[in-house]
Structure 1
Amino acid sequence: MERRTFLRASVLGVSTVAFAGSLWQDAALAAPAQNGPGPYGPLLAADANGIQLPAGFTSQVIARSGQVVSGTSYTWHPAPDGGACFADGSGWRYVSNSEINPGGGASMIRFDSGGTVISAASILSGTRQNCAGGATPWNTWLSCEEVSRGFVYETYPFGGAALQRPAMGRFKHEAAAADPVRQVIYLTEDESNGRFYRFVPTTWGSLSSGTLQVLCAGSATSGSFTWANVPDPDGSPTATRSQVAASKSFNGGEGCHYANDTVWFTTKGDNRVWQVNVAAGTYELAYDDSLVSPGTPPLTGVDNVTGSTFGDLYVAEDGGNMEICVITPDDIVSPFLRINGQSSSEITGPAFNPAGNRLYFSSQRGTTGSSSGGITYCVTGPFRT
């Protein structure tokens, strides 16, 4: 099956605004992804880190909550969550949120061209339950508070004081994704009746002012949509999700990823991945666990999402059986990795380095089931590019 508008994604260093890719063939109809063999073959037995991977892939531990990051003097934060990579010369930087309340924030680890840690530091502190977020083309990380009337904080992985961005709305923020073509930022809301938003900055490259809009559509799982202004982005006394009667409700918005006129986001309440063609003004399902056949759906507890240069989507599980699953451009879904012995945790923060041959992610509560037990990993191997 060929999805109508599944476009090759790119997660190359956001400093180069690398959201490039190629169109897949158009098809008359789209269909949610179905079970099938993965592009890298079956998962092998668990390695020394308890991770099952396909042949040719290896894992390593990068950092552990409450412990000093190897090669630095910086203590890694608890409950690592959403993350992203930024190109830094021949190396890169990985940022990660801390989903605790109070005392959340975000940290950064810098790597050289060979993937060796150079340094680590805090880029945000004193905030609340920083869950996911998103990178901008101007090398900042948007760290989102997953609390009622939470803020988006713009942080600076290359140096600089973080800034609160109230114009982006006050609600239970989850993830963000930048669209340099339309010069907007897409935002998800982690409520059972959450909405899907976009923020239109007054000036692209500055998030200090602008217009918050919400997606409006019917109750169907596919169709056309429009955008409407949210009258009061401050969300008080009326929540932003309740201000526009025609806005479409989504059950627990989570991860968000943009590439080439398409934005994908996940909803954990119904285990779906939504695909929005922002150029055509249409939306549809890229994945729905209730529509998968044959056999048992491989992907449940959908959460953070990222994309590869080839066009594969990598969706992390919050629950399920602790997998990162891959959805290919030909609509096949399969496990890419599985973490054993950490059933009380969730997988967070998947992000590729600029070359696309290293995938960073975390187990938020690790083997202990506590926010103090988080583990951040890197998987290296022959990813499709």
Structure 2
Amino acid sequence: MDRRRFLAAMTAAGVAGPFAGVACAGRQGGAQPAPSGYGPLRPARDLRDGKVRLHLPEGFRYRSFSAAGEKFSDGGEVPGRHDGMAAFSGPGGSAILVRNHEIGGAVGAFGDRERAYDPMAGGGTSTLRVTRQGEVIRATPSLTGTMLNCSGGPMAWRAWVSCEETVNGPDVADAPGGEGNARLTQKHGYIFEVPLDRAATARPIRAAGRFAHESAAFDPSSGAIYLTEDNFAHPSGFYRYLPPKHPVLAGKLLDGGRLQMLAVADAERADLSLGQRPGAAYPTEWVDIDDPDPGFRGRPAYDEAVQAVGRQGRAKGAAIFARLEGAVYHQGVVYFVSTQGGDTSPADPMPDGFGKGRGQVWAYETWSGTLRLVYESPRASVLDLPDNITVSRRGTLVLCEDGDGDNYLRGLTKAGKLFDFCRLAPIAGDPGAEFAGSTFGPGGHTLYVNVQAKQGRSFAIWGPWERGLF
């Protein structure tokens, strides 16, 4: 398919949202639990070494791979803090994975420091070629010298956009806890393109903003990149970056475009972090960010610097969300997660940070500009602080939890059914371990996912998908 026909096809795909069933369920009282899913979860042994790391339905198998501290193909050490990830088709039925490493502090770059964006920053991405059963064929560093690479998103021109969830830099005072900003050589808080076939140039897309980026979702019809912001202690916003040329036509993401922030039409600074009625829908508009790449004098406090872009949007009426994290584009709709949106159940403790709830899932219709509430968690035992998301071939969303207790991979179907698919086995001495970076491989045979832990690792999960709702 040539580029013009490709763009026309993507535009046509956007006229009907795949989650109409969820919206209807929401109007009728919210999504209903479907605890059966693929059946009860049972302890399952890792085919790598026989240890129980996941609980899965009967018939599913998995193998872990590329754990922190292991070796890259060139002999370097795999960093930790595995986070957002995407899968692309590789030769011979393999998958090419691009994986973030959410490492902060002035700890030094992994890989080749001469190619690093900032030789003092320890985050970045690794690129792996793996089989459908999680056997590593090749693994190499691909973007180095960035910081706190949380999530990002796959791009239609076979690239990954990696997002820095920070505004650290030599021009900003250390955040609480200390980041060693004075030792950094570059400003941080940007998005970076990572091609599949070569190392990244490590050039930030500065016009896409300097803020606590989380995820990126590409709209192939318009060429816009939709961006979420995870500002832990302050209001967050939903953005879009309009590049100067359609990235599919350019073959890459160009700097120099326009950054905008979403607002609810005729409702200035609408606070969508609060509990919503089922099926809530809002007409929206976009406001321009006049200074997307602020520099700072006098090294302001981190809490001030991290709000510099968002405050510009809110001054023009942009909407308020609570910790926007995962985002994915599917058939004309961008689904994104507000990790702490909604209301806290009386049975649940109040979460730390901005927001009082246990999570919302929103849908932005790119063709109509309508924002809809897909799901709002009623309590932690149903859905607890959703983070990264992806979508299956059947249009079911996969939600990675980042909760206070047991963490699950949960499915949310187009009909509004929420079900459990996988539970993370407790890791001794690491109660903060969580799922991240779920992504289906070529053909949907394998679900690849990361566990962010003190010793992070990746997993390949496969089994009788046709038996259930993925």
TM more than 0.5:
yes
Q: Does 1:53 align with 2:56?
A: yes
Letter matched to residue 77 of structure 1: P
Instruction: Show the 5 A alignment for 1:1-385.
Output: 24=18, 26=20, 29-31=24-26, 32-47=30-45, 48-68=51-71, 73=75, 75-89=77-91, 90-101=93-104, 102-112=121-131, 116-148=135-167, 150-162=189-201, 163-191=203-231, 192-205=234-247, 206-217=253-264, 218-219=270-271, 221=276, 222-236=281-295, 239-244=308-313, 245-270=316-341, 271-290=359-378, 297-320=381-404, 321-342=406-427, 343-365=431-453, 370=454, 373-384=455-466
In structure 2, what is the Cα distance between the partners aligned to 1:322 and 1:135? Answer: 25
Q: Cα deviation per residue 1:51-105 (whole Å; 9 max; x = unaligned)?
A: 1111221111112101126x87453221111100111233220111111113101
Between Structure 1 and Structure 2, the one with more strand by share is 1
Structure 1 323/86 Cα, relative in aligned 2: closer, same or farther at 3 Å?
Answer: same
* 1:107-128 deviation line (CA, Å, top 9, x unaligned): 0111257754211100011111
The one-letter amino acid of 1:37's match is P
For 1:36 and 1:121, how far apart are their aligned partners in 2? 40
Secondary structure class of the residue paired with 2:310:
helix
In structure 1, what is the Cα distance between the partners aligned to 2:156 and 2:52? 34
Residue 351 of structure 2 corresponds to which residue in structure 1?
A: none
Aligned AA for 1:239? A
Tell me the secondary structure at the aligned position of residue 52 of structure 2. coil
C-alpha distance in structure 1 between counterparts of 2:337 and 2:20, whole Å: 23
Q: Distance in 2 between matches of 1:24 and 1:151?
A: 31
TM-score (norm 1): 0.86
Q: CA deviation at 1:231?
A: 1.1
The total of aligned residue pairs comes to 358
Identity of counterpart residues, as a percentage? Answer: 33
Q: Is the 8 A contact 2:61 2:461 kept in 1?
A: yes
Q: 1:114 to 1:43 in 2, by over 3 A?
A: closer
The CA distance in 2 between the partners of 1:49 and 1:289, in whole Å, is 29
Show structure 1 runs of 5+ residues with no match: 1-15
Report the Cα distance in structure 1 between the residues aligned to 2:197 and 2:365, rounded to whole angstroms.
32
Change (3 A) 1:332 1:118: same
Change (3 A) 1:332 1:235: farther
Determine if contact 1:266/1:272 at 8 Å carries over to the other structure. Answer: yes
Normalized per residue, which structure has more helix? 2
- Unaligned 5+ residue runs, structure 2? 1-8, 46-50, 105-120, 168-187, 248-252, 265-269, 297-306, 342-358
